[in-house]
């Protein structure tokens, strides 16, 4: 399945969730509520339904993954929390490399630099190639030893205080 929303949402980097991707998302205006193609009851644990409903209220629509080409996947974290995966990672390359060397390294891994962050040396927001799972790419990049860390950027509903 997938969740669909206009491409206006931004999120902060978050830790990678456990478990397989359940859904996907593609940017487009949501259809009217009556036209939503999937009923989530039975497709996600009851604990996840409040987050699903909150994402729907924010404009996301859950659709079959095949109908969400180029969109975000939906993951289920331990405890039943739902998060939407984007195509972005926050990656820090060792500070011993120059910025140019860091950019070349990221390019060799098939990543496109979207932004250089100023919080630390060689800290970038990168795009994952279309069709690749951002969690797999982050794990592979971290395991390579070429980076200090690679974290997927996720969208999550945060409960009120």
Q: What is the pLDDT of residues 62-103, one digit of tens each?
A: 777 777 665 678 888 887 788 888 899 999 999 899 999 999
pLDDT at 1 (0 to 100): 52
Alpha carbon distance 52, 92 (integer Å)? 31
On the CB side of 14, CA atoms within 13 Å amount to 19
The backbone torsions φ and ψ at residue 107, rounded to the nearest 5 degrees and listed phi first, read -65, -40
| Closest CA relative to residue 105, chosen from 115, 114, 116, 94 | 94
Whole-model pTM over 0.85: no
What mean pLDDT comes out for the span 116-127?
94
**40 DSSP β-pair partners:** none
Average predicted confidence (pLDDT) for the chain? 77
- Alpha-helical regions (H) of the chain: 49-57, 99-108, 134-144
Task: Provide, for the chain, the percentages of residues in helix, strand and coil under a 3-state DSSP scheme, each rounded to the nearest 5.
Answer: 25, 30, 45
Residues 6+ apart with CB under 8 A from 86: 11, 72, 134, 152, 153, 154, 155
Domain ranges of the chain: 2-85, 86-156
Looking at the structure, give the CATH architecture of the domain made up of residues 86-156.
Answer: 2-Layer Sandwich (3.30)
């Amino acid at each position: 399945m997938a969740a669909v929303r206009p491409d206006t949402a931004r999120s902060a980097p978050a830790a990678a969730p456990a478990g397989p991707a359940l859904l996907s998302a593609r940017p487009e205006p949501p259809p009217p509520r009556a036209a939503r193609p999937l009923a989530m009851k039975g497709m996600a644990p009851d604990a996840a339904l409040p987050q699903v409903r909150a994402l729907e209220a924010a404009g996301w629509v859950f659709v079959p993954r095949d109908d969400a080409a180029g969109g975000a996947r939906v993951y289920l974290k331990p405890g039943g929390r739902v998060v939407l995966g984007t195509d972005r990672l926050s990656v820090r390359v060792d500070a011993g490399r120059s910025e140019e060397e860091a950019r070349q390294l990221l390019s060799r891994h098939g990543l496109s630099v979207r932004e250089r962050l100023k919080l630390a040396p060689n800290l970038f927001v990168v795009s994952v190639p279309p069709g690749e799972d951002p969690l797999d790419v982050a794990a592979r990049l971290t395991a390579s030893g070429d980076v200090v860390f690679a974290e997927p950027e996720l969208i999550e509903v945060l409960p009120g205080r």
